[in-house]
Amino acid sequence: MSIFSKFDALAANRRDLETIGINPFDVQIETIVSPTEGIIQGRHTILAGTNNYLGLTFDPECIAAAQTALRYEGTGTTGSRMANGSYSGHRNLEKELAAFYGKRDSIVFSTGYLANLGMLSTLVGPNDRVLLDADCHASIYDGCRLGRAQTIRFRHNNPDDLAKRLQRLGEQAADTLILIEGVYSMLGDHALLKEIVDVKRQYGGYLLVDEAHSLGVLGQHGGGLAEELGLLDDVDFIVGTFSKSLGGAGGFCVSNHVELDLIRYASRPYVFTASPSPVTIASTRQALRALSAGSDLRKKLHENAVSLHSKLEALGYPLGAEASPVIAVVFDDKIKALQFWNNLLQLGVYVNLMLPPATPNGMFLIRCSVSAAHTSEQIDRIVAAFERLKPTA
């Protein structure tokens, strides 16, 4: 046995991919042409697997804000928020995020992954309990592991199962942290947030919602599922990322709890990680302003998502959930999914191939992410590629 023995199964899977001659996990976009187009393997390709929901990566005002920050503040902070890495822009962004959600305060982290890791490893400890939806993101699981709390899974989107498990905890339910996502990243389905809030009201506990895939997508102002359903006051902590709708990198948590500020002093992923660069902070602040200013981008995104979903459904493809910017086509065989993904790429359409253990229930998924920047023609070209590859009965 060596320290590398644990990777034997992974190595075997890699050899399988090499035998097939398809490696979906080493795709390089050689040239970025626009938010929705790039050059891959020398071929002009529609990008339909980027999570660039509002297409703001090329927004002129976001780029201008980034360029100004680069000119006057440099390329990086070279330090953590607790040392030398807190600039005025970091704190201003935190104030703007808190105002955007109507919450008391917020904390900005260097990535969305670190936002979950930083919050969950600190909020809960060995004497605490966590109830999390079984389909939660890896960053949520990792944060719980780091905090060493007693972690209990409840069935995906099953408020009755959540209630059953809270009931078993008795008085301890009041101090239990409940973890869900607004839109789940693999299948694109929405959390049953209203029903989960009803359970929380009955048994107590704290509720954290990861709105990574719903920020900018849902709600009158783009705040996510909690805003759309009018339940912001019932959510104790909202975690999100800048790397999807806001077109940058970083993460955050907003809350009305006064104790949120204490997380800054106790969260190791916050204390010991270099803070986001001034460029990232500046572009994110401008993207948040664009998000707050109007709903035209969300309207276009919704139209594109409904269009692609309905057309794939009409072709007979089994889809993972209702229409959302995450549209997952379900396959029952890994090799078929691999070949289908590769054939789409050869036809100039880049999507995500998602395989176990990342997927729920061992599914094999071809996952599309729709952008407001996709044109109607691009949506039709994506559909045409799926139609051309449709298996015959």
CATH of the domain at 30: 3.90.1150.10
For 159-184, what is each residue's pLDDT tens digit? 999 999 999 999 999 999 999 999 99
In the sheet with 37-40, reading across from the earlier edge strand, the strands are 29-34, 37-40, 43-47, 349-350
**Annotated catalytic residue within 90, 156, 213, 374:** 213
Residues 175, 262: one domain? yes
Residues 110, 73: one domain? yes
What is the tally of structural domains in the chain?
2
Residue 378 domain-assigned (yes or no): yes
Instruction: Tell me whether residue 213 is one of the annotated catalytic residues.
Output: yes
Residue 5 domain-assigned (yes or no): no
Domain endpoint, select from 293, 322, 340:
293
Residues 262, 228: one domain? yes
Residues 259, 301: one domain? no
User: Where residue 241 sits, what CATH number does that domain have?
Assistant: 3.40.640.10
Quickly state the pLDDT bin for 71 (edges 50, 70, 90): very high
pLDDT at 315: 96
Give the mean pLDDT of the chain. Answer: 95
Residue 53 domain-assigned (yes or no): no
Residues 195, 132: one domain? yes
Residue 3 domain-assigned (yes or no): no
C-alpha–C-alpha distance, residues 361 and 372, integer Å: 30
User: Which of 66, 116, 52 lies closest to 371, judged by CA?
Assistant: 52
**Annotated catalytic residue within 106, 110, 185, 277:** 185
pLDDT at 54: 96
Work out the average pLDDT over 214-232. Answer: 96
Residue 54 domain-assigned (yes or no): no
For 21-62, what is each residue's pLDDT tens digit? 888 888 999 999 999 999 999 999 999 999 999 999 999 999
Phi-psi group of 38: left, alpha or beta (phi > 0 → left; psi -120 to 50 → alpha; rest → beta): beta
Question: Which percentage of the chain shows pLDDT scores above 90?
Answer: 90
C-alpha–C-alpha distance, residues 383 and 309, integer Å: 9
C-alpha–C-alpha distance, residues 359 and 17, integer Å: 18
Quickly state the pLDDT bin for 393 (edges 50, 70, 90): low
Domain endpoint, select from 293, 318, 338:
293
Residues 316, 255: one domain? no
**Is residue 392 predicted with pLDDT exceeding 80?**
no
Instruction: Tell me whether residue 244 is one of the annotated catalytic residues.
Output: yes
- For 338-356, b/e burial (b = at least 16 CB within 10 A) is bebbbebbebbbbbbbbbe
Residues 324, 283: one domain? no
Residues 240, 317: one domain? no
Task: Name 212's Cβ contacts closer than 8 Å, sequence gap at least 6.
Answer: 112, 137, 181, 182, 185, 239, 240, 241, 244
Which residue's entry shows tokens 């297409």? 55
Residue 2 domain-assigned (yes or no): no
User: Which of 375, 287, 359 lies closest to 326, judged by CA?
Assistant: 359
Work out the average pLDDT over 104-110. Answer: 97
Residues 100, 85: one domain? yes
C-alpha–C-alpha distance, residues 211 and 289, integer Å: 18
Residue 156 domain-assigned (yes or no): yes
**Annotated catalytic residue within 103, 137, 244, 300:** 244
Domain endpoint, select from 244, 266, 293:
293
Domain residues for the domain of 18 are 11-47+295-389
Residues 274, 367: one domain? no
Residues 218, 133: one domain? yes
Residue 70 domain-assigned (yes or no): yes
Residues 126, 257: one domain? yes
